[in-house]
Amino acid sequence: MSTNVKDTRNSQPAPRRGRPKGDRAAKRTELLQAVIAVIAREGYAGASMRKVSQQAGCTTGAVTYYFANKEEMIIAVAESLFDQFDQILDGDDQQDVHALLHHWLDWSNISDTDTWLAIFQLLVHARHEPAFASIVRERYAALRSALAAVLERGQQEGSIRQDIPARVLSDQLCAMTDGWMMLMPIEPERFESPHGHTLITSALALIAPPSEQR
């Protein structure tokens, strides 16, 4: 056997191609926004890493630096969207339950149709991919649980109706925002101000104590 063959067992791995410069977190966020835009325009099937790189104005290597493959990229988008919901429910404005819920519903009523189109595409995709569906179920269950905890605290304070369990109210609010999510890209005028604000106010009225409703 030749002794000229280089032994690479103890060598360091080569650096990943496309290493970006600057703020990595900011660049990753920028790429996630590019993924959302591509999914909204092309659908899940058309959201290739090449198209994402074109949308972001970078090389495909820069995309693969952050996401090894398309599946990892899509999962990162789903996780980031759920993270935004979690940040709202874990926000500093914990003293006023109604203000916190208004903020959450208002985020659900955003006019960024790309975001909702992307979410809709991802949910459709989840029906056919068990691994991805498992992530959505896990994160959505955690979201409903966090929302139920906020509502339960409101019940203890007397600002949320107590005749319906907090977990049921949480399910109702989530189902309501699910409907908004699906229809907003199709009927955006329904969710524009002032009607969009009225929808949020009405949702809060539905979970208010019966005496306040009267």
Average pLDDT over residues 149-157: 92
Domains of the chain: 16-68 (1.10.10.60), 70-213 (1.10.357.10)
Answer whether residue 110 shows pLDDT above 70. Answer: no
Which residues fall within 8 angstroms of residue 83, CB to CB, at 6 or more apart?
none
pLDDT in tens, 12-56: 434 344 455 667 889 999 999 999 999 989 988 889 999 999 999
Residue 103 exposed, middle or buried by CB count within 10 Å (0-12, 13-18, 19+) = middle
Question: Largest Cα–Cα distance of the chain, in whole Å?
Answer: 91
Whole-angstrom distance, CA of residue 159 vs CA of residue 182: 30
Is pLDDT of 69 > 90? yes
Average pLDDT, stretch 74-101? 78
Between helix 24-42 and helix 113-126 the angle, nearest 10°, is 80
pLDDT at 213 > cutoff 60 = no
Tokens of 190: 């329904």
Average pLDDT over residues 1-6: 44
Q: How far is CA 67 from CA 53, 80, 103, 140, 203, in A?
A: 12, 14, 31, 23, 39
